[in-house]
């Protein structure tokens, strides 16, 4: 695996791969790689060669009081993990390369960016959309792979790619989970042992909603109440939001329809965790994917 630090070199390598008729896949990450990232790499390898993984802790998507400065950084371990997966290139630009002095242009996906995550983390999706557009422009991959744990992020990136006529297809892959259901996240590393136990509350709340849907519940408010019942029972957990939303607009729904999501953001101690469950109608029945 070759590690590429500069934009120009990355552009040249990707341009050559496309000129050779190869299908380029991009897996954008902020490092601190876990099984979720590995599953994205494997999905990319099924359709693409070369596969390029990027590691860049993007400062513009962190708010002033967020965890940019303590975000886990483990470049050597990450590089070893990508080597083991036989990733072709690691793209690891510096912040100066990505945001040189005088940088002034940002991307905002209107509406979608101010709900849920965007309401709790103002400016977050502006930073995400900006860096992802830059990565898409630099690599010009045919496919880019994102995890469904960050469902709103994936939806916003898809919208941006459609609105700006980008040639990169956005592929969204299932959430990777620990054996007890906790969604894999780099931020799980912040959890102490008791918090780690409590953190399963997100999965437990979604699973209770899943059971209700399976037995016929269709009312948004009642499903939210079921999830809140599970979440509120954990004193170490503080709910930021718990909702049932339309999978397209991320607006709350009163009754299940087409494609919806149950979405959660919960503080466990100081650590903010998110998770979601996809609820899709097929032939009159609702199928649930956790
Ligand atoms: O999901 C992430 O890790 C980041 O938001 C992303 C997409 C790599 C952009 O910095």
∠ at Cα 234 (230, 235), nearest 5°? 145
Secondary structure class of 53 (helix, strand, coil):
strand
Contact 257, 281 (CB under 8 A): yes
188 in contact with ligand 1, CB cutoff 6 A: no
pTM for this structure?
A: 0.97
Probe target for ligand 1 pocket from 36, 67, 131, 185, with the most ligand atoms within 8 Å of CB: 131
58 in contact with ligand 1, CB cutoff 6 A: yes
Q: How far is the CA of 30 from the centre of ligand 1 (A)?
A: 6
pLDDT in tens, 123-168: 999 999 999 999 999 999 999 999 999 999 999 999 999 999 999 9
Probe target for ligand 1 pocket from 38, 133, 134, 150, with the most ligand atoms within 8 Å of CB: 150
The CA-based dihedral angle spanning residues 207, 209, 210, 212, taken in that order and rounded to the nearest 10 degrees: 130
Phi, psi (deg, nearest 5) at residue 209: -65, -40
124 is catalytic: no
Domains of the chain plus CATH, in order, are 2-173 (3.40.50.620), 186-279 (3.30.1300.10)
d(CA 248, CA 112): 9
Q: What pLDDT does 159 receive?
A: 98
Peptide bond just before 250 cis, omega within 30 deg: no
pLDDT in tens, 99-135: 999 999 999 999 999 999 999 999 999 999 999 999 9
């Amino acid at each position: 695996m070759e590690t590429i630090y500069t934009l120009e070199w990355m552009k040249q390598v990707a341009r050559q791969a496309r000129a050779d008729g190869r299908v380029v896949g991009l897996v954008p990450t902020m490092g601190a790689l876990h099984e979720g990232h590995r599953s994205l790499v494997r999905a990319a390898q099924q359709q693409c060669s070369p596969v390029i993984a990027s590691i860049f802790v993007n400062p513009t998507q962190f708010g002033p009081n967020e965890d940019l400065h303590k975000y886990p950084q483990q470049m050597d371990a990450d590089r070893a993990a990508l080597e083991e997966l036989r990733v072709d290139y690691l793209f690891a630009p510096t912040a100066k390369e990505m945001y040189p002095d005088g940088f002034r242009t940002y991307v905002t996906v209107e509406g979608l960016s101010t709900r849920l995550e965007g309401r709790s983390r103002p400016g977050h999706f502006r930073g995400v959309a900006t860096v992802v557009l830059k990565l898409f422009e630099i690599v010009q991959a045919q496919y880019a792979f994102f995890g469904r744990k960050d469902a709103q992020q994936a939806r916003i990136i898809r919208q941006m790619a459609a609105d700006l006529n980008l040639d990169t297809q956005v592929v969204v892959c299932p959430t990777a989970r620990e054996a007890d259901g906790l969604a894999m996240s780099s931020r799980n590393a912040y959890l102490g042992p008791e918090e780690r136990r409590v953190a399963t509350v997100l999965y437990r709340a979604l699973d209770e909603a899943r059971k209700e849907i399976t037995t016929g519940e269709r009312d948004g408010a009642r499903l939210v109440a079921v999830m809140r019942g599970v979440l509120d029972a954990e004193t170490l957990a503080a709910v930021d939001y718990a909702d049932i939303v339309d999978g397209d607009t991320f607006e709350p729904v009163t009754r299940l329809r087409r494609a919806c999501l149950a979405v959660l953001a919960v503080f466990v101690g100081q650590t903010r965790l998110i998770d979601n469950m996809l609820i899709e109608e097929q032939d009159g029945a609702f199928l649930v994917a956790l």
